[in-house]
Structures are given as structure tokens and as C-alpha cells.
Structure 1
Amino acid sequence: MYEIYLVILFFCLVLSFINEVARCKYLGIYFIVVFISELLIYFEILNRNNYDWLNELYTVFFCWYYLIEFVKKSELIFVTLILLIVGYLFINERQNLVIIQASVYILVTANWFYRQVKSTNEVPIYKKLNFWISTSLLLWSCVYIFRILPSYFFANEDINFLENTINIIYQSMVILSYLIFLKGLCCKQ
């Protein structure tokens, strides 16, 4: 399954440089970092503990990504800074830090969706790159939260179910999220 994920990431990387809108939003930088880090982890040059700083990097990138989309930049900066400060001060476990990341993604994507619904224009929402990026991040965030919360219970009660079933569902949703990214990278708006 990991190989499928890497292939989809590679296509996202290529399209992020072909698509002019994605190039202007620097999505290629995001996909270069993700693809190279995942390749290094796949070939065991890096270990999975590197996800901690990578997740922080991804969170900062998408906060910046949405920052350039918002008219009222101060509110996004404020909410993001508060969440990141709370994360650094009070969160000691990796799982909790990623819950902060998922929460930030939910906030910025929900804000983007709200603004799109509030101020409609002539371009249908499904033809916009940001619609697909936001949908992908929202899907990943919700699935991650639903994966991590029961893991505390299943780690004690049914480790086999946790390691097999829940992880397969999560990996499938990550692949679906990047397929949604891929669809978005085909948009011209």
C-alpha cells in the first residue's frame, strides 16, 4: 500500500509544477518535501520519528498557504499562533501534537469553505484548486482524529484490531486524500 502512496505522491509532485495555479501557490515545495521525506522513510534512511518535525513543517506551510487566500489575515494568524503555542507549551506526546495539526487544518479549511459559500462567484467551487486541497485536508484531519482517539482504547483492549484494521483504514484514507489533491492539481482556477 505504501508503494501506491508513493506513486500518487510522485504524480502530485509532477502536476504541482505543471499546473500554473499550483506553481503560484508553491505547492511544488510542499510535494518535494513530502515525497523526498516519504522516500527516505521508505528506504529506511530516515525513521518515522521524523514525522514530528515534518508535521510541524506541513502545518506551517498550510497556514501560510491559506494565509495568502484570506482577506482578514489577522484572524488566521491569531488562531494559528495560539494553537501552535498551546501545542508547544502543553503537548508532550506526538499524537497530541498531530491532533493540534489536524485541528489547525480543520479550522483553516472550514474558514475557506465558509468564505466560499458566503461570497459566491462565477467559477463553480469544484473547479477551484483550493476546493480540492481543502477537501483533502479536511478528510485527512477528520480521519486522523477518528484514528487516534480510539487508539488509546484499542492499544489496551485489541492491539491486533488497532494495528491491522484501523491502520489499513487510515492508510486508505491517506491515499484517497492525495488522490483528491491530484484531482485538484488538474484544476485551472
Structure 2
Amino acid sequence: METVDLKLVLLGQPGVGKTCLVYRYLYNTFGETISTIGASFAMKKVEPSDGGRPCNLGIWDTAGQERFDSLSSFYCRGARAAIICFDLTDRASFECVTTKWIRKVMDEAEQGCHICIVGTKLDLVQAGAATRAVKADEIEALAQKHHAHWFETSAKQGEGVAQIFEKIVRQYHSRANAGDARQAGLPQAKSKSGGGCC
């Protein structure tokens, strides 16, 4: 079966845990990381459990610092999926999702790019080590506004991480199959609008 390529970009403020999220997904490890300079790239071949076409998932982990803004725009180009991360204990990082990162995806990525809004460091909230700064209903409302999906995760514990990437691959195949149906002139099932935590 033919393998398809899917470009995924990770965006978010510095220190929100983008690199830790990628390391947990790729290597099932967690450790202290240094700030990404520019961007880092990894590839993972994903074999969908539903029998869909295998997917080469190209993951671009971008730096969040302002001095690398032009580079993050560059890496957004051609992306069909984006994970926008924020720290559940840092309100300012969530505000940047709206004021900066979603706009960047809409301006630079492929039209119809699938967005996942991801709250990180859930383990700190659950352990009482830090106060939650963003309510779940706020994340849900933002996701619905932008027809995105949303997740709360802990890269440290591995909670919710794999589900994000699985959702991205499933969504990509769903959209590709819908496109195939349009090209063949076949009727299509109506899709639900809006996002949700899946």
C-alpha cells in the first residue's frame, strides 16, 4: 500500500513543552531539554490501526522565541497539521495561542490545516504543584471557534500524548478519503463541525 507524507508543525511559546511532547511520542522518554534553536525535525512511519494507508509523519518542532518568528513561518508552509502548545499553568502562553499562533497557522500553513490545541504540564496541576491558569471550557471554546481539537497532556507521565498524533493521522486520512469521494463523484456523509476533546 502506498505511503503518504504528512507534514506536522509544533508551535508555541518557549518552555511550554513542545520538545518534551515530541520525545515522549517518538521515544517514550521524558527528560529535561534545552530550548530549541530554529527547529528540529523527526520522521515517524505510522501504520493506522484502521487499515488506512501508512503515513510518513514529518514532525517539525519549532523554537518559540520571537527572534525565530520568521523561521516558524517558514516551517509552517506546506503543513497539513499543527499542534499549538501552551502551558496549563501559564495564562500568557494560552493568550499567545489566540493572538499569535493560530493566526500564523492560518496565514502560513496549507489551507484547511488541521489544528490541535494542546495544554501541557497537566501533571503539575494534578499534583497540586502549580495552579491551573486556564479552564478546560476556555480551551474547548477556543477549539470550537477554530474548528480544532483540544487535549490536555503530561509529557512527563505520557498522559494524552499518543492520542494527539493518532487523531492527526486519522483526521488526515478522513479528509483524504473525503477528497477521493468528491473526485469519484460519490456521495459523502455529512461531517460534524466544531472541535472537541477526543
TM-score, length basis structure 2: 0.31
- Give the structure, 1 or 2, with the largest relative contact order (CA under 8 Å, sep 6 or more): 1
Q: Give the structure with the larger helix fraction.
A: 1
